[in-house]
Amino acid sequence: MKTAVVIGATGLIGQILVDKLAQDRTWSQILAITRKPTTWANPKVRTLVFDFKQWESLDLQIQSFGGRADLNFFCCLGTTIMAAGSEEAFRKVDHDAVVSFTKVASRCSAENLFVVSALGADVNSSVFYNRTKGEMERDVQAVSLKAVYFLRPSLLLGDRGQFRLFERLAIMSAPIYTPLLFGSLKKYRPVKASSVANAMINIAAKKITASKFIENESIEHFAAIHN
């Protein structure tokens, strides 16, 4: 039986992931790491309230919850520059917190680490968002891990529970422009948040073999075999 540790558990992908893990018999327990107390319908899910500061003690809290047996870590952290308020604040979440969580996973001898990154992640990009994601991927890979997977979705489809104007407009117009994205443009097609969650679950359960980087156009393929 497997234990899942999910950070970013109240976000779009994180919430879906926790719910799907709880319904899957492969997983005996799920630890959802959140900033605020959160209740879950399934008793397999427990919440660990964390201030995103005391990273050096987080591994001890995780091990007291689930021990060391077959721990799988899922990082669903992510924000936008607009939501964070500045580029510096954005980087603290999408780079610093992700790398800190990776080090916790390493100290816990995690079997797998899954990180939700983004389409276009590139350490050499002139776009701050893409460059930050690329630097995050680089620095995560510098940490000693048994296995790490980066999922690089495009625009995520799903109910965030919060209003983001430009994102909402893009989602509303997706049925119009998606059919136009074919050939080399196919990689830019929007992807369901539930598909990202399913892809991670399938790979963790070893239902399918995947490379380290799972590009946007491959996510639906990896998600499709989820039962």
- Please state which of the four CATH numbers 3.40.50.720, 3.40.1350.10, 3.40.1410.10, 2.60.40.10 is assigned to the domain occupying 2-162+192-223: 3.40.50.720
Lowest-confidence segment of 131-135, 173-177, 223-227 by average pLDDT = 173-177
Backbone angles phi, psi at 79, to 5 degrees: -140, -170
User: Residue 170 — very low, low, confident or very high, per pLDDT cuts 50/70/90?
Assistant: very low
Q: Bridge-partner residues for 6, per DSSP?
A: 32, 74
Domain segments of the chain as ranges: 2-162+192-223
pLDDT-derived band of residue 206, with 50, 70 and 90 as boundaries? confident
Residue 165: predicted pLDDT: 47
Query: Do 208 and 225 meet the contact criterion of CB atoms below 8 Å apart?
Result: yes
CA distance 174 to 159: 14
pLDDT score for 190? 85
Give Cα separations from 35 to 8, 31, 115, 157 (angstroms).
Answer: 9, 13, 19, 24
The pTM score is 0.89
Question: Quick check: 160 pLDDT over 90?
Answer: no
